[in-house]
């Protein structure tokens, strides 16, 4: 059985503010006054000027548009109306006839369905069922003449009417002098039989005008974008999200790519957690190649030599300090001369004419 890993224990999971561990995963959260950016790790300060559409809490049910003076304005897709709270969208009769089988009337609370003559509204408040035909005919006979009843019966027999089965129409039916005329709401097309309404798959033609993804819905369609892109206010175009424009996306250097970004670290640092840079302890690897002591510093390190020994110009090796000591005279200085020949370093010591240097001892001429 695999042990659960707490990603938040390692550098806070790469989250800028709050990391919440979950079974098999984790998620980043932001403190009050901030909202989570599209990279799901960094937090963006919520502007005092107002909400913007990049904030997932903009509250718009369908379409969010940013206003020139700051803040957002919500809009609805075709067939819907903006509710009184200016956020939600209410279905209208223009979208799928409001779900009604026969007639549809728009009210403040939404579509209200009705039925043609001799039909009653079903308990589902959408469909229409036929009334007791015998009771209706009996009522009509008592109120009108036999001739009038015969005329209605003949019209019903020889000509279609919207009062009977909605004239055979899928959606909207209108009585005309030559019979019924069927029509379809926005997002549907009338089929060759003149009765049936079929949803228009807008995505089949030029991908619905969407830059990236197009998803067909009943009576409409929706565009969406690839990861690292955002949908513009025209609800069709996609624009790359410049993650590097967000504050503290990367600790050091941020490079933006279409749909992504990359963090780079300065020399002496290494990348971890995708966005953070940590100091490299060079002394932990082969003592930093130092001959003696090694001291790590932020972004670098330095080699040290013990007392009486000085650091070589290569900043790694140590050289023994050499003195030339003639008898009973002031200590003359030995001269060290180094040169590089054919890629090889060579050094030589020279002493004054009255002194001779021998390793491990001094000899005076």
The DSSP line for 126-148 is: S-EEE--HHHHHHHHHHHS-HHH
pLDDT beyond 90 at 210: yes
More confident residue, 213 or 108: 213
pLDDT beyond 70 at 329: no
* pTM for the full predicted model: 0.37
What is the C-alpha separation between 80 and 95, in angstroms, rounded?
A: 7
The residue whose two tokens read 């799928």 is 96
Which tokens is 252 given? Answer: 């050091």
Tell me what the mean pLDDT of segment 282-291 comes to. 88
What does each C-alpha distance from 82 to 74, 95, 283, 321 come to in angstroms?
8, 14, 65, 87
From 182-191, 250-259, 298-307, 313-322, the region with the lowest mean pLDDT: 313-322
From 98-102, 293-297, 320-324, the region with the lowest mean pLDDT: 320-324
**146-158 and 133-143 are packed helices; what angle lies between their axes, rounded to 10 degrees?**
140
354 Cα distance to chain centroid: 82
Which tokens is 41 given? Answer: 């790790």
Looking at the domain 281-321, which fold is it?
Laminin (2.10.25)
Q: How confident is the model at residue 1 (pLDDT cuts 50, 70, 90)?
A: very low
pLDDT in tens, 147-206: 554 554 444 444 567 877 888 888 888 887 777 889 998 888 899 888 888 888 889 989
Tell me what the mean pLDDT of segment 312-321 comes to. 84
pLDDT in tens, 131-148: 654 344 445 445 555 455
What is the C-alpha separation between 228 and 77, in angstroms, rounded?
A: 25
212 Cα distance to chain centroid: 14
Supply the DSSP symbol for 334: P
Domain extent listing, the chain:
1-61, 96-198, 281-321, 323-365
The residue whose two tokens read 């390692």 is 10
pLDDT beyond 70 at 70: no
Report the CATH superfamily, name and number, of domain 1-61. Laminin (2.10.25.10)
Q: What is the dihedral of CA 271, 275, 279, 282, to 10 degrees?
A: 0
In this prediction, residue 207 carries a pLDDT of: 92
Supply the DSSP symbol for 140: H
Report the CATH superfamily, name and number, of domain 96-198. Laminin (2.10.25.10)
Q: Give the side-chain half-sphere CA count within 13 A for 259.
A: 5
From 17-26, 47-56, 101-110, 275-284, the region with the lowest mean pLDDT: 47-56
Which tokens is 346 given? Answer: 């060579």
The residue whose two tokens read 């060290």 is 336
The residue whose two tokens read 């974008």 is 225
What is the C-alpha separation between 213 and 211, in angstroms, rounded?
A: 7
Question: Does 96-198 match 1-61 at the fold level?
Answer: yes
In this prediction, residue 223 carries a pLDDT of: 92
What is the C-alpha separation between 14 and 344, in angstroms, rounded?
A: 48
Q: How confident is the model at residue 364 (pLDDT cuts 50, 70, 90)?
A: very low
């Amino acid at each position: 059985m695999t042990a659960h890993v707490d990603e938040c224990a390692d550098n806070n999971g790469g989250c800028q503010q709050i990391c919440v561990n979950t079974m098999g995963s984790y998620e980043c959260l932001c403190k009050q006054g901030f909202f989570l950016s599209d990279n799901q790790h960094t937090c963006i300060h919520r502007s005092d000027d107002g909400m913007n559409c990049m904030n997932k809490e903009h509250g718009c049910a369908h379409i969010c548009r940013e206003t020139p003076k700051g803040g957002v304005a919500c809009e609805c897709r075709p067939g819907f109306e903006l509710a009184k709270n200016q956020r939600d969208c209410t279905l209208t009769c223009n979208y799928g006839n409001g779900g009604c089988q026969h007639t549809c009337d728009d009210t403040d609370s939404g579509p209200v369905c009705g039925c043609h003559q001799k039909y009653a509204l079903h308990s589902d408040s959408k469909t229409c069922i036929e009334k007791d035909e015998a009771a209706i005919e009996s009522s009509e006979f008592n109120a009108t003449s036999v001739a009038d009843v015969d005329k209605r019966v003949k019209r019903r027999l020889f000509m279609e009417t919207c009062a009977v089965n909605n004239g055979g129409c899928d959606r909207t039916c209108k009585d005309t002098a030559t019979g019924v005329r069927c029509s379809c709401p926005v997002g549907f097309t009338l089929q060759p039989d003149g009765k049936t309404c079929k949803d228009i798959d807008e995505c089949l033609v030029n991908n619905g005008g969407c830059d990236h993804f197009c998803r067909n819905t009943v009576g409409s369609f929706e565009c969406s974008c690839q990861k690292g892109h955002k949908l513009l206010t025209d609800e069709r175009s996609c624009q790359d999200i410049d993650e590097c424009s967000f504050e503290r996306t990367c600790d050091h250097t941020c490079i933006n790519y279409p749909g992504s970004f990359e963090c780079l670290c300065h020399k002496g640092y290494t990348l971890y957690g995708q966005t953070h840079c940590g100091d490299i302890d060079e002394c932990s690897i082969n003592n930093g190649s130092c001959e003696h002591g090694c001291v790590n510093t932020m972004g670098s390190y330095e080699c040290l030599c013990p007392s009486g020994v000085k650091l070589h110009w290569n900043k790694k090796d140590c050289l023994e300090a050499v003195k030339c000591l003639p008898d009973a005279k002031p200590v003359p200085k030995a001269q060290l001369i180094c040169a590089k020949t054919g890629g090889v370093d060579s050094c030589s010591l020279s002493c004054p004419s009255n002194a001779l240097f021998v390793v491990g001892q001094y000899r005076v001429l």
